[in-house]
């Protein structure tokens, strides 16, 4: 079991999530704070609440959407700050509530890893600006990930039945909506931003994003609906969007937990070490011509071992290993393996085992023929 920490600065509320990836472990711990940064007279900062000991000198809010803007963001006293520096300070404040971090429990055995999310519609310059501010603020250990990728990590670790899926995220906030496509855990191209009042429906917006990459709604495996700001508190509207997407596009749609905390939860899951597999791991299984009894009887001592296995996956793996051993025994001319038992009569014609015996006889004949040719030539 390992522990991860996920942080998300939202437009109105921000989240800290501490989660583990072990089966049967406690539910994630979620800390919620208002996205208002209080700056004390001594320069100290705290996110949410009323400031430390009521000694707040000024406050900052609405800074997340201002990242990358040269004019920055103004505090309540008129002082201007770089918005990315304010976001980095807010992240630091969220992380501070988890400190002191233990020196164990992380996915590599040390201190738990920390991942923080950023809006999926940010361009690379905005992400780079935040990265620079975090490094400058002494937080180079924090990994950045988009809201969409983190949200899909939550879905793939908790809901999805198969890996390597194409998942859409429909994120609504007070200024508009952001549609993103994530495949095998990685954001596909750019996200699509639709301002509020654009007059397009959720299904049309999602179809636009899919069409840009040559995909159809049928290519989607699922859609996750999330929100931020005041619109996220309208649970009826959030569920209505998910229902409309399901009804009109025929795709499995769910509302993310919160729905504002879905990305922070996914970031914590990623920090704990979750990795999205690119494709399903398929069992090799046995060829249809093999009967279980004849394969196992060909390998001394393996019958008892297989009978003790109760898990279906482990059983399949052992039987496959036994089949490989039987094949190897034939190829090496092992005379101890009883491959000529009565089970031959039950094997389908053209099956694997008669072909192996025929192959062995053909090999012997070929060797004899080569020897005769050599004798003739000499």
CB 58 within 8 A of CB 39: yes
Strand locations in 156-228 (E): 166-173, 176-183, 186-187, 192-195, 222-227
pTM over 0.85: no
Weakest mean pLDDT among 34-43, 86-95, 225-234, 278-287 = 278-287
Residue in 103, 83, 95, 104 with CA at minimum distance from that of residue 138: 95
pLDDT in tens, 48-79: 976 555 566 899 999 999 999 999 999 999 99
C-alpha 271/C-alpha 260 separation (Å) is 18
What integer best gives the mean pLDDT of the chain? 78
**What is the band of 351 on the pLDDT scale with cuts at 50, 70, 90?**
very low
What pLDDT does 336 receive? 46
**Among the ranges given (8-17, 99-108, 288-297), the one the predictor scored with the smallest mean pLDDT:** 288-297
Angle at 208 between CA 280 and CA 266, to 5 degrees: 45
| Model pLDDT, residue 50 | 61
Looking at per-residue confidence, does 150 or 326 come out higher? Answer: 150
**DSSP tag of 20:** E
pLDDT at 339: 38
So what's the pLDDT on residue 55? 63
CB 27 within 8 A of CB 261: no
Q: Is residue 258 pLDDT above 80, yes or no?
A: yes
Note the pLDDT of residue 198.
Answer: 83
Banded pLDDT at 378 (limits 50, 70, 90): very low
Among 97-111, 161-175, 195-209, which stretch is predicted with the lowest mean pLDDT?
97-111
* pLDDT for residue 199: 83
- pLDDT greater than 90 at residue 15: yes
pLDDT reported for residue 51: 53
Rounded to whole angstroms, the Cα distance separating 254 from 239 reads 8
> How many other C-beta atoms are found inside a 10 Å radius of the C-beta of residue 61?
15
Residue 367, preceding peptide bond in cis (omega within 30° of 0): no
Separation between Cα atoms, residue 175 and residue 177, nearest integer Å: 7
Cβ atoms of 178 and 117 within 8 Å: the answer is no
pLDDT tens per residue, range 292-347: 444 444 444 433 333 333 343 433 343 344 333 433 443 444 444 443 444 443 33
pLDDT surpassing 50 at residue 376: no
pLDDT of residue 281: 44
Task: Specify the higher pLDDT residue, 258 or 326.
Answer: 258
Joined tokens for residue 271: 């920090």
77 to each of 40, 53, 56, 59, 65, how far by Cα in Å? 12, 19, 11, 8, 20
Terminal CA-CA length for the chain: 70
Residue 279: what pLDDT? 52
pLDDT at 312: 39
């Amino acid at each position: 079991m390992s522990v991860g920490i996920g942080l998300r600065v939202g437009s109105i509320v921000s989240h800290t999530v501490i989660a583990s990836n072990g089966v049967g472990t406690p539910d994630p711990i979620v800390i919620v704070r208002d996205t208002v940064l209080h700056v004390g007279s001594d320069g100290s900062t705290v996110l949410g609440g009323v400031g430390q000991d009521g000694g707040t000198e000024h406050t900052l809010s609405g800074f997340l959407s201002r990242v990358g803007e040269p004019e920055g963001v103004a505090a309540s006293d008129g002082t201007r700050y770089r918005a990315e520096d304010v976001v980095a300070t807010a992240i630091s404040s969220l992380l501070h509530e988890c400190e002191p971090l233990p020196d164990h429990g992380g996915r590599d055995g040390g201190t738990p890893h920390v991942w923080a999310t950023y809006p999926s519609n940010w361009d690379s310059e905005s992400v780079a600006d935040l990265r620079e501010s975090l490094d400058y603020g002494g937080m180079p250990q924090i990994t950045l990930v988009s809201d969409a990728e983190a949200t899909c990590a939550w879905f793939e670790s908790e809901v999805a039945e198969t890996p390597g899926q194409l998942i859409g995220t429909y994120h609504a906030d007070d200024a508009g909506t952001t549609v993103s496509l994530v495949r095998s855990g990685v954001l596909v191209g750019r996200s699509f931003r639709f301002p509020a009042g654009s007059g397009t429906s959720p299904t049309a917006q999602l179809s636009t994003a899919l069409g840009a990459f040559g995909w159809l709604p049928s290519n989607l495996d699922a859609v996750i609906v999330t929100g931020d700001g005041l619109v996220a508190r309208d649970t009826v509207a959030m569920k209505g969007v998910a229902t409309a997407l399901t009804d009109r596009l025929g795709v499995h749609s769910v509302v993310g937990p919160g729905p504002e905390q879905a990305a922070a939860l996914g970031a914590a899951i990623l920090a704990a070490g979750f990795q999205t597999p690119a494709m399903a791991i398929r069992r090799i299984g046995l060829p249809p011509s093999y009967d279980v009894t004849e394969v196992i009887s060909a390998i001394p001592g393996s019958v008892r071992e297989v009978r003790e296995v109760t898990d279906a996956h482990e059983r399949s793996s052992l039987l496959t290993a036994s089949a490989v051993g039987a094949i190897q025994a034939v190829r090496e001319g092992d005379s101890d393996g009883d491959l000529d038992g009565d089970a031959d009569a039950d094997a389908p014609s053209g099956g694997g085992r008669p072909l192996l015996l025929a192959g062995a006889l053909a090999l012997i004949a070929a060797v004899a023929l080569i020897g005769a040719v050599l004798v003739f030539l000499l």
